[in-house]
């Protein structure tokens, strides 16, 4: 009977110590948790602090601008791009296109336009007594009037024709060719270079327009296409 009571006392003491140990363990865990929460609260950054703004943007990652420094002004973190000025050597390498001078034109004679240029509208021919197209410009002038070069050029040919008498054809460059009909006392020959206003010869009667008022018959071509000589003065 004594053994049983002693055994019961021992078991009671063991249970007491076990419960006490569990309580101490629970208290220790609770204290550790409370301490951790307090430490986290103390170390948590203030949202009004500049460092919190940097953490918000950075968060251990690349910031919005890798060059941004908290101690710099907003413009210091941005790379400045300065436009480069070409050096003298680079300028020399760039070809500079010189503007082409405008060609000067002058009328071969001064007078009234008797017949204008037209490839569609028919005009009456007194010599032939019918209506026909007129791919030239007729300018009235007295027989013997000096005919001058409309602009600089090179004489392409001087030929005698049955329709327009002596015709002086001049290549004025840039695709422009003018036929001066009909002339006498011609002062140029094939291959001659002429300048604006040079004397080519004088006006005489035109075989195919002999019944009409005295005039000079002028045919002009641009890139082999007939045009009005008056278009050069527009």
What gap in Å lies between CA 193 and CA 209, rounded to an integer?
30
pLDDT of residue 23: 76
Q: Which two tokens stand for residue 154?
A: 């090179």
What confidence tens digit (pLDDT) does each residue in 69-127 have? 555 555 555 555 566 676 666 666 666 676 666 788 999 999 999 999 999 999 999 88
Domain boundaries, the chain: 2-77, 113-233
Superfamily of domain 113-233: Glucose Permease (Domain IIA) (2.70.70.10)
pLDDT, mean of residues 204-213: 92
pLDDT of residue 55: 47
Q: Is the pLDDT of residue 131 over 80?
A: yes
Which residues lie closer than 8 Å to 39 by C-beta, 6 or more apart?
none
CB count in 10 Å sphere of residue 54: 14
pLDDT of residue 81: 57
pLDDT of residue 147: 98
pLDDT of residue 102: 75
pLDDT of residue 165: 95
pLDDT of residue 78: 52
Q: How confident is the model at residue 63 (pLDDT cuts 50, 70, 90)?
A: very low
pTM: 0.58
What gap in Å lies between CA 112 and CA 1, rounded to an integer?
162
What confidence tens digit (pLDDT) does each residue in 15-53 have? 777 777 777 777 877 777 776 666 565 555 554 444 444
The angle formed by the CA atoms of residues 162, 165 and 167, to the nearest 5 degrees, is 115
Which residues lie closer than 8 Å to 87 by C-beta, 6 or more apart?
none
Q: Is the pLDDT of residue 58 over 70?
A: no
- Per-residue HEC secondary structure of 110-148 comes to CCCEEECCEEEEEEEECCCCEEEEECCEEEECCCCCEEE
What gap in Å lies between CA 11 and CA 24, rounded to an integer?
20
CB 125, CB 209: distance < 8 Å: yes
Specify the higher pLDDT residue, 67 or 187: 187
What confidence tens digit (pLDDT) does each residue in 140-172 have? 999 999 999 999 999 999 999 999 999 999 999
Q: Which two tokens stand for residue 106?
A: 């002058």
Q: Half-sphere exposure (CA, 13 Å, Cβ side) for 62? A: 4
The angle formed by the CA atoms of residues 153, 206 and 226, to the nearest 5 degrees, is 45
């Amino acid at each position: 009977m004594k053994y049983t009571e002693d055994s019961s006392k021992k078991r009671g003491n063991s249970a007491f110590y076990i419960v006490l140990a569990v309580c101490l363990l629970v208290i220790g865990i609770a204290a550790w948790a409370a301490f951790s929460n307090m430490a986290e609260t103390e170390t948590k950054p203030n949202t009004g602090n500049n460092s919190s703004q940097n953490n918000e943007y950075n968060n251990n990652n690349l910031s919005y601008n890798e060059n941004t420094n908290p101690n710099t002004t907003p413009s210091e973190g941005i790379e400045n791009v300065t436009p480069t000025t070409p050096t003298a050597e680079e300028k020399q390498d760039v070809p500079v296109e010189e503007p082409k001078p405008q060609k000067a034109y002058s009328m071969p004679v001064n007078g009234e336009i008797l017949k204008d240029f037209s490839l569609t509208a028919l005009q009456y021919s007194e010599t032939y007594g019918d209506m026909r197209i007129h791919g030239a410009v007729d300018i009235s002038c007295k027989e013997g009037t000096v005919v001058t070069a409309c602009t600089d050029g090179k004489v392409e040919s001087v030929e005698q024709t049955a329709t327009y008498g002596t015709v002086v054809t001049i290549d004025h460059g840039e695709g422009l060719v003018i036929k001066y009909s009909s002339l006498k006392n011609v002062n140029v020959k094939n291959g001659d270079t002429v300048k604006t206003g040079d004397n080519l010869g004088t006006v005489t009667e035109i075989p195919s327009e002999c019944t009409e008022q005295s005039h000079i018959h002028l045919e002009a071509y641009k890139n082999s296409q007939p045009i009005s000589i008056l278009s050069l003065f527009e």
